[in-house]
Amino acid sequence: MEKFNLEGTDSTPKILFDKESGKFEITGRSFPEESRSFYAPVFKWLEEYAQNPNEETFFEFKLEYFNSSSSLIILEILNVLDAIYKKDKKVTISWNYLEIDEDMQEAGEEYSELVSIPFEYHALEETEF
């Protein structure tokens, strides 16, 4: 399966999914004008991955900001990962946020209540972000 690598912009996140290395991450800011069309190839890749996932999937979110339409997309991504988890595969979500950003921490906590996947929370300093 080919790696999915999309460079980030001021309004879109960097997305790297690499089945071979086991690296799955979404970093940056997410407020594209057309969230559904921007994330369509992401879902296509994830759906293909879900057909034959790794034994362990470590998925890292490191978002500075996301808008409401991106929030729905994040939940849909988590639902795909939750389906993998329910197939007795190990899935862990690493939710990274700036230590001064309580809203982003709470967003991760709210997402974790909507899926059965274990979440890890990491408060980072600006220099680590």
Q: pLDDT value at position 15?
A: 98
The domains found in the chain, sorted by start residue, are 4-128 (3.30.750)
Query: What mean pLDDT, rounded, does the chain reach?
Result: 97
Contacts of 83-88 spanning 24+ positions with Cβ under 8 A: 83/50, 84/50, 84/53, 84/57, 85/115, 85/116, 85/117, 86/116, 87/53
91-112 per-position pLDDT tens digit:
999 999 999 999 999 999 999 9
Is pLDDT of 129 > 90?
no
Which among 72, 126, 69, 67 has a CA at the least distance from the CA of 101? 126
Q: pLDDT value at position 119?
A: 98
Is pLDDT of 8 > 90?
yes
What pTM value is reported for the model? 0.96
23-73 per-position pLDDT tens digit:
999 999 999 999 999 999 999 999 999 999 999 999 999 999 999 999 999
